[in-house]
Structure 1
Amino acid sequence: MSSIHKEELNWIIDAIDGLSTPSYLKQIIGRPTIPVFFVRVLQLMLKSLHVPEERARIYAVAVTLLDMGQVMHDRVTVDSQPEPDAHRKQQLYVLAGDYFSSIFYQQLAKHQETEGLAFLLEAIGRMNEKKMTFHMAQETFASKVEEWEQMREISGGLLVALADFFHADQPEPTPWRDIVKELMVLRHIKDSGYLFDTEAEAAWVQSASQRLNEATAKLEDDLVKDELNILIREAMPFT
């Protein structure tokens, strides 16, 4: 990663940190975790799609905060009768998620990014439908492979939507659609710490890796490819 690229990444992370850590929120949930890997993928994708630097900053900050809000909401369990302390904590996670989401709206509205806001809101609706379907079916999945197939349509959803938005005037879909789907589900599997116990699971990961490499090869900028390959190596559940 070049020094200029690192400086830009640090600027984005500092901006997210400043917006996501008001004192009262830290008292409620502690210091929120910024998804640095997500930010790095987002930053590289926007660069590859030739989004102007200032506009890329706006979307990198806003969409990461939206992702953080989605993660907070996902932490709320569906237990119908949680213990009082657990119920209070769930309420706090909902409020924290709402707070992050509200800053996403605020940031895009502040910079008159109304088209992007509307586009992403539609994407969020589709993602939430997929999440509900996923959670309702989770206990009935026949295998981890089936679960991962569903997860790959969810984990990179915000990035896919953003890639579509900034590539809307082109006749062919951007390779980034496939890149982020495969990359983010692989990272999800790695972060879960799952221990592979069937050949089918290992084969699925290898297949996802192959699809990811094929999509990466379609990118034109060799420097972007090099930086993306670093991210791919970091995301792989095993080498």
Structure 2
Amino acid sequence: MNSYRVPQLAKKYTDYDMIRQHTEIPSFPDSRARLLQAFVARTDEKMDQELYALATSLVQLAMDTHDRIDTRSGDRGEQEMRSRQLNVLAGDYLSSRFYQLLAHAGKIEMIGKLSGAVSEVNARKMTLYDRMKKLLISADEYLRETVQLRMQLFLSFSDMMRDEEKSLWTSLLKEFSICETLTEEMNRMRDNQQALHSYAFWHIYEHGNDGERKYLREMEIEPHVWGSLVLKYSVRKILLDKLRECTHRIQLLLQDEESLQDLHEIEAILEPYLSYVQTSHAE
């Protein structure tokens, strides 16, 4: 079994005092990176499995960091301005490390593929954000687009996979991207500061009454009101059910594929989500 240490290697680029003091690095794309390494390890490019997983994770972190830039107008305090500036600089810095890593290894073609994927992600984001701004998106559409955005960079490696495993790679990448998205949405749901344009926001906006929809359109969400809306519309249960269904689909994929006998890494990727479902069910 190949050892997985990509998150530890990434800390060389993310653990800077200035970044940690003034901003927060987004969640590491652990499931996707680990899945990528596991599949690349079965190809002719297996010597570069860790390099590809690390470089792609850094690009993902760079884009996710840029997404945290506050674009609201109006005056801000010094701390807010510094945090905004650090989000810009941190994202640019992480993106530059991806180029450096792959260029140093002579992987120019992969730089081109990932750069193209970044352009595709940005184009999809513009379309999504425009629909969100106009309040023209459903909760399920938001979820589908968010999952696709998580997949896009990692799909750059599809041509590299074995022909007999390409379909499986794509299916597992999609399912684990769904798992990542659902757990993150459940975490966002607990914090009214992160509630705007979350799955919970769109679900409540879609199913709420006129007064509730008007309240959400004002974009000033108070903790006690938000908590009552989340409870009223059973958002946690909906997300948890979706996560349970997703883990079940992954288990079926693992059962159906005889070629996966030596891919024990996938079970290790799945285990935290199974634990999450079981723990939540016991609460």
Q: Equivalent residue for 1:133?
A: 127
CA distance in structure 2 between the partners assigned to 1:89 and 1:206 by the alignment: 36
Q: Which has the larger radius of gyration?
A: 2
Secondary structure (helix, strand or coil) at the match of 1:76 reads: coil
The Cα of 1:44 is off from its aligned counterpart by 2.1
Q: CA RMSD in A?
A: 3.2
CA distance in structure 2 between the partners assigned to 1:35 and 1:56 by the alignment: 16
Contact 1:160 / 1:176 at 8 angstroms: preserved in 2? no
Letter in 2 for 1:101: S
Q: Equivalent residue for 2:260?
A: 221
Instruction: Assess, with a 3 A threshold, how the Cα gap between structure 1 residues 187 and 56 changes in structure 2: closer, same or farther.
Output: same
Q: Equivalent residue for 2:272?
A: 234
Instruction: Assess, with a 3 A threshold, how the Cα gap between structure 1 residues 138 and 45 changes in structure 2: closer, same or farther.
Output: farther
The Cα of 1:209 is off from its aligned counterpart by 4.3
Q: Equivalent residue for 1:156?
A: 151
Instruction: Assess, with a 3 A threshold, how the Cα gap between structure 1 residues 178 and 90 changes in structure 2: closer, same or farther.
Output: same
CA distance in structure 2 between the partners assigned to 1:117 and 1:212 by the alignment: 30
Length, aligned pairs only:
229
Letter in 2 for 1:158: L
Q: Pick from 172, 197, 200 the counterpart of residue 179 of structure 1.
A: 172
Secondary structure (helix, strand or coil) at the match of 1:156 reads: helix
Contact 1:144 / 1:201 at 8 angstroms: preserved in 2? no
- What's the TM-score, normalizing by structure 1? 0.78
Whether 1:197 aligns to 2:234 is yes
Instruction: Assess, with a 3 A threshold, how the Cα gap between structure 1 residues 77 and 29 changes in structure 2: closer, same or farther.
Output: closer
Instruction: Assess, with a 3 A threshold, how the Cα gap between structure 1 residues 82 and 192 changes in structure 2: closer, same or farther.
Output: farther
Q: Equivalent residue for 1:124?
A: 118
Q: Pick from 138, 141, 149 the counterpart of residue 146 of structure 1.
A: 141
Superposition pairs for residues 86-105 of structure 1, below 5 Å? 86-105=80-99
Contact 2:37 / 2:52 at 8 angstroms: preserved in 1? no
The Cα of 1:24 is off from its aligned counterpart by 4.7
The Cα of 1:84 is off from its aligned counterpart by 3.9
Instruction: Assess, with a 3 A threshold, how the Cα gap between structure 1 residues 209 and 82 changes in structure 2: closer, same or farther.
Output: farther
Letter in 2 for 1:197: S
Letter in 2 for 1:19: Y
CA distance in structure 1 between the partners assigned to 2:7 and 2:245 by the alignment: 33
CA distance in structure 2 between the partners assigned to 1:189 and 1:69 by the alignment: 21
Whether 1:65 aligns to 2:102 is no
CA distance in structure 2 between the partners assigned to 1:179 and 1:43 by the alignment: 13
Per-residue CA deviations over 1:195-214 (Å, capped at 9, x if unaligned) read: 78278766655554455445
Q: Equivalent residue for 1:188?
A: 181
Instruction: Assess, with a 3 A threshold, how the Cα gap between structure 1 residues 219 and 67 changes in structure 2: closer, same or farther.
Output: farther
Give unpaired runs (5+ residues) of structure 1.
Answer: none
Deviates more, 1:194-203 or 1:120-129: 194-203
Contact 1:145 / 1:204 at 8 angstroms: preserved in 2? no
Give unpaired runs (5+ residues) of structure 2.
Answer: 190-229, 279-283
- What's the TM-score, normalizing by structure 2? 0.67
CA distance in structure 1 between the partners assigned to 2:102 and 2:96 by the alignment: 10
Contact 2:102 / 2:111 at 8 angstroms: preserved in 1? yes
Instruction: Assess, with a 3 A threshold, how the Cα gap between structure 1 residues 77 and 215 changes in structure 2: closer, same or farther.
Output: farther
